[in-house]
Structure 1
Amino acid sequence: ASNHPLSRMLYDYLPIPVLQNKSANNSNKLKVDAFEEITGKGIQAAIFGYQIQIGSEEFCKPELAISSPSIERVGERTSVHIKINDVYYGKFIFNNQYREGLEELFKCLKNNYQIKVLSGDNEGERTTLERLLPKGTELIFNQKPEQKLEFIKNLQEKGRNVMMVGDGLNDAGALAQSNVGVSVSENVNVFSPACDAILDASEFQRLNYFLKLSKNSITTIKMSFALSLLYNVVGLLFAITGNLLPLVAAIIMPLSTITIVSFVTVMSSFYARNK
C-alpha cells in the first residue's frame, strides 16, 4: 500500500509467488492484519502474529544486531532495513539512479530560479549531485519531514515564493506549506491531497516547459482581459453617441465572447507548441 519510491522499487524487485492454477489453494497469500505507514520512518504491519517493520535505520534499530558478523555495515548508502518481532534481519541497499534529463533540467531552471535540494538520505550522493547539478545549488541532507517543512517556512518568512517538487509521503508537509506544491508520481491515479499539481514521473524533464507554459497562460489571461475591455470601451463610445443600432448591438454582444474564446484558444496553442 505504500507509494514511497523505495517501497515501489523493493516491491518490483522481490520475487512474488504467482499461482499458475487459479483454482489452486490460495494458502500462499498472506493476510495483513494491520498496516501503518509512518512518515519519515517506514512501514509496519502485523501478519499471522508477526510484527514486521521496514524502513530507516533509526526506525528498525539495527543496533540490536550490531554484534552479528553476518551484518555488513555499509556507510553512506541508501538502504531499507528489516526487523521482524524485534529481531533485526538486515537491509536492502539501493543504488541511486537519477531521472532522465535531470542535469539539463536543472541547468535551465538555474537561469530563472534559485534551486535547493532537500533530501532525507545521507550525504553519500553529494559528490554525484555536485557533478550533475549547476554550481551554487544548495544541497541539504538528512532532512526529516518536519525539517523540510520548517525550511520552507523560513524561506517564506524572508519573502520568497517557494515551489516544492517532491515524490514521497515524506514531502507531504513541505508540499502543503509551499506556495506551489508539485507531486511527482509514477502513478498519476494516486491522489495526493497535499499538492497543487501532480506531474507524471515520465514528464519530469519537461518541468521547465510547464513552468514557462503556466507563465504564458497568465499572460494570455491578461491580454484577453485587455482585449475585452477595449472591445467594450469602443462599443460604449458608439452607443453613447447614438451610432450603434440595436440590431448591431445584438450581433456584437455574442460576437465579443466568440472573439475572446478564439483568442485564448489560439494563444494557448501557440505557447504550447513553442517549447
Structure 2
Amino acid sequence: MFVDASKALNVFTAVLIIACPCAIALAAPFTFGNMLRIFGKLKFYAKNASVIEQLAAINTIIFDKTGTITANKETSIAYEGMALSSTEEVLLKSSLRNSNHPLSRSLYALLQDNDILTLDDYEEHIGKGICATHNNNSIKIGSAPFVGHSSESTILNTAVHVSTNNTYKGKFTFYNKYRKGLSKLFNKLKKEYDLVILSGDNAGEKENLTKLLPAKTKLFFNQKPEDKLEYIKHHQSSGAKVLMIGDGLNDAGALAQSDVGIAISEDVNVFSPACDAILDASKFNSLYHFIKASKQAITIIKWSFVLSFVYNAIGLYFAVTGQLAPVVAAILMPLSSISIVVFTTVCTNIIGRKLK
C-alpha cells in the first residue's frame, strides 16, 4: 500500500486516463470510412462499412452473364420475323422503357427514335418477360414460352421474343461482346476464389466462355432467379462466403441472399434495391483490386489494434509504477488517438493510390 495518499490518487487517475481504449475504438471507423470514400471516388459505391469487412471474407464469387460479364453498349442485335408496324414498335419501346433488365435496356436503345406511350397496364415477370397493354393492344416481350412461342430454333443464342395481340411476331437475337480484360480478371481471381457463372440464358455461349475463362470456372445455364437463389443458399450452408455479381433487379433474390451483392451498372442512375454495392461497368476489371484493398483494410485495423495495445501497455506500466503524472497521461492519450487516426488515414490513402 502507498504511504503517500496523494501519490496513490495520482497513480489511480493516471491509470484511468491511460487505460482508455479510444485509439482502438477509432481504428475501424476511420479505416472503413476512408476506404468508402476512396472506393466512391473510383466508382465503386458500397452502402456501408460492413460491406468492406464482408468483402474481405469471401471465398466464392458468382457472376451473372448478361449485363455483368457482357457489355450492353457493345452488343449487336438482329431481328428475325414478321415486320413490326409503327404502332407495334412504339408499344414495344414504351414497354421496354420501364424495365431495368440489360437486354431490355439494349433493345430500348436500339429503338430510341420512337415515341413513348402512356401504358394502360404493365407487368414485369422476373426471369420471364414483360407484358403491357395500350388502347386494347397487348404485347408480350421475353422468353419464347412466355410469349407463347413453342417452336424455338435449335440455334442457341440469347434472344428476346415478341408477340402482339397473342400473335407471335419474331425475335431479337443478341450477339454478346464480353467485357475487355475479362479473361485476365478471371485468371487473377481463380488463384484465391471459386468462380461460378450462373446465367438465365441458354447454353449458346458455353463454348465461347469455356475458351475465355479458366478451366475450373463452373458454368450453369437456363438458371431462373429462384435457381440462383437456391444455389447460393446451398453453398452458404456448406460454409462458403459468397460474393454475387449481377445486373440488379433480375438477380434481386440472389444479390440479397449472398454475403455481398454487387450490381454492375453501365448507368449508375438505374435503381437496384437489393445490392450491397454498385460497381460502375467501366471499373469491372478493377474488381480483384477492390477485393484485395478490402483485405488490406482489415490488416490495417489489426495493426492499429496492436499499436494501440502496445501504447496502452507501456503507458500502464509507467502509470502503475507512479512514473506518469495524470497531466502527462492526459496529454499522451489524445496523441495516441491522433496517431492511430493518422496511421489508418495514411495507410488507406496509400492503398487508394495503388488502386488508381
TM over 0.5: yes
Q: Name the structure 2 match of 1:58.
A: 145
Q: Which structure's residues are more often helix, by fraction?
A: 2
CA contact (8 A) 1:31 1:48 kept: no
The answer on 1:268 being equivalent to 2:348 is yes
Deviation at 1:191, TM superposition (A): 3.4
Measured in 1, the distance between the counterparts of 2:226 and 2:168 equals 27
Retained in 1: the 8 A contact 2:99–2:124?
Answer: yes
Whole-angstrom distance in 1 between the partners of 2:138 and 2:316:
76
| Counterparts of 2:317 and 2:268, CA distance in 1 | 51
Q: Structure 1 segments of 4 or more deviating over 6 A?
A: none
SS at match of 1:274: helix
- The answer for the alignment partner of 1:127 in structure 2 is 207
Name which structure has the greater RCO, CA cutoff 8 Å, separation 6+. 2
Residue 54 and residue 269 in structure 1: after superposition, are their counterparts in 2 closer, same or farther (change >3 A)? same
Deviation track 1:26-84 (CA, whole Å, cap 9, x = no partner) reads xx542112222211011122222222111111211123xx5xxxxx9462011111111
Q: Specify which of 82, 90, 98 is matched with residue 162 of structure 2.
A: 82
Q: Judge conservation of contact 2:160–2:172 (CA < 8 Å) in 1.
A: yes
Query: Does 1:16 pair with 2:113?
Result: yes
Answer yes or no: is the 8 Å Cα contact 2:249–2:273 preserved in 1: no
Letter in 1 for 2:135: F
Contact 2:248/2:274 (8 A) holds in 1: no
Q: Please tell me whether the aligned partners of residues 52 and 82 of structure 1 are also in contact (alpha carbons under 8 angstroms).
A: yes
In structure 1, distance between residues paired with 2:312 and 2:131: 64
Find the aligned partners of 2:105 and 2:99 in 1 and give their Cα distance: 7
Please point out which of 167, 186, 195 is paired with 2:266.
Answer: 186
Q: How many residues align?
A: 258
2:122 aligned partner: 35
Q: Which residue is equivalent to 1:217?
A: 297
2:187 to 91, 94, 107: 107
How many Å separate the matches in 2 of 1:236 and 1:191?
Answer: 52
| 1:229 aligns with one of 300, 309, 315 | 309
Distance 1:272 1:29 in 2: 44
Task: Find the residue that maps to 1:146 and give its secondary structure.
Answer: helix
The equivalent residue for 1:69 is: none
State percent identity of aligned pairs: 55
The answer to whether structure 1 residue 141 and structure 2 residue 228 are counterparts is no
**Displacement of 1:274:** 3.4
Distance in 2 of aligned mates of 1:246 and 1:165: 54
Structure 1 length-normalised TM? 0.89
Gaps of 5+ in 2: 1-97
Contact 1:5–1:168 (Cα < 8 Å) also in 2: no
Contact 2:197 2:217 in 1 (8 A): yes
Paired with 1:160 and 1:89, the residues of 2 have a C-alpha distance of 45
Letter in structure 2 aligned against 1:114 = D
CA displacement at 1:257 relative to structure 2: 1.4
* Long gaps (5+) in structure 1: 18-27, 67-71
**Alpha-carbon separation, structure 2, partners of 1:231 and 1:45:** 67
TM-score between the two structures when normalised by the length of structure 2: 0.69
1:241 equivalent in alignment to 2:338: no
Q: 1:168 to 1:60 in 2, by over 3 A?
A: farther
Given that 2:138 and 2:165 are in contact with CA atoms closer than 8 Å, whether structure 1 keeps it comes out as yes
RMSD over aligned Cα atoms: 1.6
1:6 aligns with 2:103: yes
The CA deviation at 1:215 is 0.5
